[in-house]
Amino acid sequence: MVIIGIDVSKTKLDCLWIRDLQAMKIKGKVQANTPAGHQALLAWAMKQTGEDVSGLHFVMEATGVYHETLAYALHDAGAQVSVVNPARVRDFARSLGAQTKTDKRDSVAIARYGMTQSPRLWVPEPVEVRQLKALIARCDAIKQDIQRELNRLEKATASDASEEVPASIETVRSQLEAEKARLESLIEDHIDNHPDLKNDQVLLESIPGVGPVISQHMVAIIRSRSFRQASQCAAFLGLIPVERQSGTSVYSPPRLSKHGDGRVRAKLYMAAVVATRYNPDIRRQYQRLLKNGKSKMSAIGAAMRKLVHICFGVLKHQTPYQPQPA
C-alpha cells in the first residue's frame, strides 16, 4: 500500500509521495482542488507509484468543507482514504522538529504521519445523514441571522434616527422567519422519509431533557461519525475535562476542552439544565456533585457529558431510555 499525503486548501492540493523514508526521496505534485484536479491526482499517483487505484492510500487533514469533495472522489474511485485531525498532524510535525510551515512541508508531515501512525480509514457518511447535516447547518445559520436582525432592531429603535430602518429590519426578519419555518419543515420531512433516522429520533426523545432540536443534532452527529465509545462522542463535542498540572507550581482546575461546534454545545447546555430537573440519572449525578463541593457550572458540564453518553447508548443498543436503579 502506497501512502500519499495531501495538504488541502480551497483552490489547490499539495500532494506528496515519499518514495524512500530513510533517504527522504520524495515526489510531489500540485493539483487544482476541482473535479478535474481530483482525476488528475489519481492519474499522477498511479503513474508515479506503478500501483493501481486499490493500492493507493491517501491521507489528508479535515479542513472544513474543502476536503470533502476530494475524499468522496478518491473513495468512489476505489482508493483508501484517511481524514485525520489537523491537531494530531501538527503535534506530530513538531515532534519531528519542524520549524517552518509551508504547504509542501505540511504535505510531507501528513505523508509521514500516514506511513508511521496507521490512521483509521475514512468511511463516507450515508447520503441521508449528509443531507440532514446540511439542512440543520442551514437552519442554524438562518437562526443566527434572525438574532442579528433582532440586535439591529434593538439598536435602531434606541437611536430613533429613522423610521425606515426598523421597518426594513422587520421586513428582512419576517422573511428569515418564514425561511426558518420552511427549513424546519424540510428537516422533519427528511427524517420522516427515512425510517432509520426516524427511529433514532424517537429513541433519543425517550430521554428526559432531549427534545426535537437536540435529537436532530445528535442523530446527525452520531450517525455521521464512527464513534466506538460514548467518550469519543463527548470528546468530539468538546465536553471532556482537561486540566494543567505540573509539580506544585502549575495547576488549573479542570475545565471543558470546548473543541468542536460551540453551537451544538450551547444547545446541549440548555438540554442539560432541563435534564438536571427531569432526568433521574442526571439529577442524581448533579445533586451528588453539588453535595461534594463542585460548582454549578462544573456540575452542568458533567450533566452535558452524561446526556451525550446516554444518547450514544440509546442509539448503540437501539432501545428506549431506561433510568438506572437508584
Residues 101-128 have pLDDT tens digits of 788 888 999 999 999 999 999 999 899 9
Are the CB atoms for 224 and 124 separated by under 8 Å?
A: no
In a domain, 27, yes or no: yes
Same domain, 133 and 167: yes
Same domain, 234 and 264: yes
- Residue of higher predicted confidence among 260 and 50: 50
Same domain, 251 and 170: no
CATH of the domain at 44: 3.30.420.40
> How buried is residue 122: exposed, middle or buried, by Cβ count under 10 Å (0-12/13-18/19+)?
buried
In a domain, 122, yes or no: no
| Chain mean position to CA 63 | 11
Are the CB atoms for 238 and 260 separated by under 8 Å?
A: yes
**What type of residue sits at position 262?**
G
In a domain, 323, yes or no: no
Strand partners, 75: none
Count of structural domains, the chain: 3
Residues 141-168 have pLDDT tens digits of 999 999 999 999 998 888 777 888 999 9
Same domain, 65 and 141: no
For residue 103, the model assigns a pLDDT of 80
Same domain, 110 and 33: yes
Of 98, 117, 136, the one marking the end of a domain is: 117
In a domain, 202, yes or no: no
Same domain, 88 and 176: no
Determine how many CB atoms are found less than 10 A away from the CB of residue 106.
23
Residues 31-48 have pLDDT tens digits of 999 999 999 999 999 999
In a domain, 101, yes or no: yes
Same domain, 171 and 238: no
In a domain, 87, yes or no: yes
Strand partners, 302: none
DSSP sequence for 115-163: HHH-PPPP-PPPHHHHHHHHHHHHHHHHHHHHHHHHHHHHHHHHHT--S
Residue 324 above 90 pLDDT?
Answer: no
Same domain, 43 and 104: yes
Average pLDDT, the chain: 91
Same domain, 228 and 306: yes
Angle of CA points 142, 191, 196, to nearest 5°: 145
Same domain, 288 and 267: yes
5 closest CA partner among 101, 95, 89, 98: 89
What Å distances lie between residue 87 and 9, 113, 116, CA to CA?
Answer: 16, 12, 16
Q: Which residue is listed with cell 506528496?
A: 16
Q: Is 160 left (phi over 0), alpha (psi -120 to 50) or beta?
A: left
Residues 178-203 have pLDDT tens digits of 999 999 999 999 999 999 999 999 99
In a domain, 325, yes or no: no
Rg (CA), the chain: 24
Same domain, 228 and 181: no
Domain span at 221: 213-317
Question: How many Å apart are CA 181 and CA 185, to the nearest integer?
Answer: 6
Determine how many CB atoms are found less than 10 A away from the CB of residue 167.
10
**What type of residue sits at position 200?**
D
